[in-house]
Amino acid sequence: MLLVSHFCLAQNAIEALRLWPSPDNTRVVLDLTDEPEYSYFTLSNPERLVIDLANTKGEIDFSKFVKPTDLVKKVRYSTAKSDSSVRVVLELSRKLNAEIFALPPTPPYKNRLVIDLSDKSESTQQVIMSSENSTRDRDIIIAIDAGHGGEDPGSIGRGGTYEKNITLSVSSRLAKLINAEPGLRAIMTRTGDYYISPNNRPDIARKNKADLFISIHADAFTTPQPKGASVWVLSMGRANSELGRWMERTERHSELLGGAAEVIQDTASERYLAKALLDMSMDHSLTTSYDISKMVISELKQVTSLHKKLPQAASLAVLTSPDIPSILVEVGFISNPNEEKNLNWSKHRQKLAASVFSAIKQHFRKLPPDGTLWANNARSEKRTHKVRSGESLSLLAQRYNVRISAIKEANNMRSDTVRIGQVLTIPST
């Protein structure tokens, strides 16, 4: 009876173990048949993380699943607290921060226990700096975010295609095109099959002083009919809430405002000044994001069908940088059998990357950021703009990031009125 009782208690079981190493952290995942009941503690000399799983059987051979990583040397069993429990030991290369949590079943996975290990003191995400002469104009930095990764496969096509693989392939091709263009440089939020939190992806772009953030995804729906590409920008509702969140975090103002933040104190009047500056930064980012989105859509429609012909707005975590123009590109519906087939075709992925690259070039040829090689080259070129219906002097000043007075001076204008079809000279920023 006692043997039967112990057996009945061990209702859960470890089915597999997976490791997802990234440049600065490692995710360890235990696949389980049921929701885990767990506790854990750490040991030093040598460094170990010990996890106790109650009412669980451990019958798999960890050595078949684990290859040593920079952070995890070995995963093994140890003496459990009871016959109905399992003790799992992770032998670590050094003292690490550990975050442990359970995830419910999400196809294709069952119940999981996730262990995120990171070394906060030695992040390998380095800020991109030019190794060339410091007097040379800097490159324009484009941050490319391959959606999903690692434990998060994203959407899965009917043929078994994982979104995370499509996004990494398109992103890598886009980065290669960008890096081959003098004056442009790409940085990628992930370069392999590992997970990065959506909230951390914009931070990587900011640390690398990116001028543009592009997140690549593949859409999906419950039926196979929907198809086509689309481009998304941050909704105004989410933008306003993000602005409030940044205002509450006074210590982060300097990340957005540079030297200006050093003179802003935590008083009512000066916090109002900080909000005004952040608001201007957000307005510029949203306007630029929308303009770039329209260019991307114009290029994408030449290589694939469109699901939406205009930029769409949504509350998306990866688009929440108040200071960096950010867009999310859905390159097609992986749930559509024909588009899944196309997305698995190397030439089609190359065409998608090339269309996004073309839009990037168009935008930055027109509006190169100050201090860049392209801005220096643009000074010797005369920029013009033909006024279209609905455009005003203030709108053009915001779009080209120049003062209204500078446009008026460059065109010998005495009033703020512009005419449809009028060709204006746009001064450098």
Q: What is the pLDDT of residues 227-252, one digit of tens each?
A: 999 999 887 665 455 544 544 454 44
Question: Do the Cβ atoms of 314 and 239 come closer than 8 Å?
Answer: no
Domain boundary among 326, 341, 366: 366
Amino acid type, 204 = I
In a shared domain, residues 69 and 175: no
Tokens for 289, please give them: 């994001």
Amino acid type, 399 = R
Domain that holds residue 50: 2-121
Residue 306 has pLDDT above 70, yes or no: yes
Across 93-106, average pLDDT: 90
Alpha-carbon span 248 to 242, nearest angstrom: 10
Report the domain count for the chain: 3
Question: Beta strands of 119-203 (E only): which ranges?
Answer: 140-146, 184-188
Residue 269 has pLDDT above 60, yes or no: no
Q: How confident is the model at residue 337 (pLDDT cuts 50, 70, 90)?
A: very high
pLDDT value of position 315: 77
Question: Do the Cβ atoms of 245 and 252 come closer than 8 Å?
Answer: no
How far does Cα 352 stand from its chain's mean position? Answer: 18
- Please provide the DSSP assignment of 194-220 as one string: ----TTTHHHHHHHTT-SEEEEEEEE-
In the block, residue with structure tokens 């643009």: 378
In a shared domain, residues 156 and 284: yes
Mean pLDDT of the chain: 83
**How distant, in Å, are the alpha carbons of 98, 117, 151, 172 from that of 191?**
23, 18, 15, 8
pLDDT value of position 397: 86
Is residue 133 one of the residues assigned to a domain?
no
pLDDT value of position 279: 60
Is residue 89 one of the residues assigned to a domain?
yes
pLDDT digits (tens, 9 = 90+) for 51-83: 999 999 988 999 888 788 889 999 999 999 888
In a shared domain, residues 155 and 297: yes
β pairing state of 140-146 and 184-188: parallel
Share of the chain above pLDDT 70, in %: 81
β pairing state of 48-53 and 38-43: antiparallel
**How distant, in Å, are the alpha carbons of 181, 188, 210, 250 from that of 174?**
11, 10, 15, 36
pLDDT value of position 265: 47
pLDDT value of position 64: 83
Tokens for 252, please give them: 């982060």
Domain boundary among 319, 334, 366: 366
The CATH number linked to 57 is 2.60.40.3500
pLDDT value of position 294: 96
Q: Where are the alpha helices (DSSP H) in 301-345?
A: 337-343
In a shared domain, residues 102 and 246: no
pTM here is: 0.72
Is residue 59 one of the residues assigned to a domain?
yes
Across 332-358, average pLDDT: 96
Higher pLDDT, 270 or 75: 75
User: Phi and psi of 253, rounded to 5°?
Assistant: -55, -40
Tokens for 259, please give them: 């030297």
The CATH number linked to 305 is 3.40.630.40
Three-state SS at 138: strand
Is residue 35 one of the residues assigned to a domain?
yes
pLDDT value of position 129: 42
In a shared domain, residues 81 and 194: no
Question: Do the Cβ atoms of 174 and 356 come closer than 8 Å?
Answer: yes
Residue 256 has pLDDT above 80, yes or no: no
In a shared domain, residues 115 and 23: yes
Across 377-396, average pLDDT: 81
In a shared domain, residues 308 and 159: yes
pLDDT digits (tens, 9 = 90+) for 137-187: 899 999 999 999 988 899 999 999 999 999 999 999 999 999 999 999 999
Is residue 162 one of the residues assigned to a domain?
yes
Alpha-carbon span 371 to 276, nearest angstrom: 24
H/E element holding 351? helix 346-366
Question: Do the Cβ atoms of 88 and 77 come closer than 8 Å?
Answer: yes
Question: Do the Cβ atoms of 329 and 296 come closer than 8 Å?
Answer: yes
Across 277-303, average pLDDT: 85
Q: Which residues of 185-210 are buried (b: 16+ CB within 10 A; e: fewer)?
A: bbbbbbbebbbbebeebbebbbbbeb
pLDDT digits (tens, 9 = 90+) for 176-185: 999 999 999 9
In a shared domain, residues 362 and 389: no
Is residue 129 one of the residues assigned to a domain?
no
Alpha-carbon span 204 to 173, nearest angstrom: 20
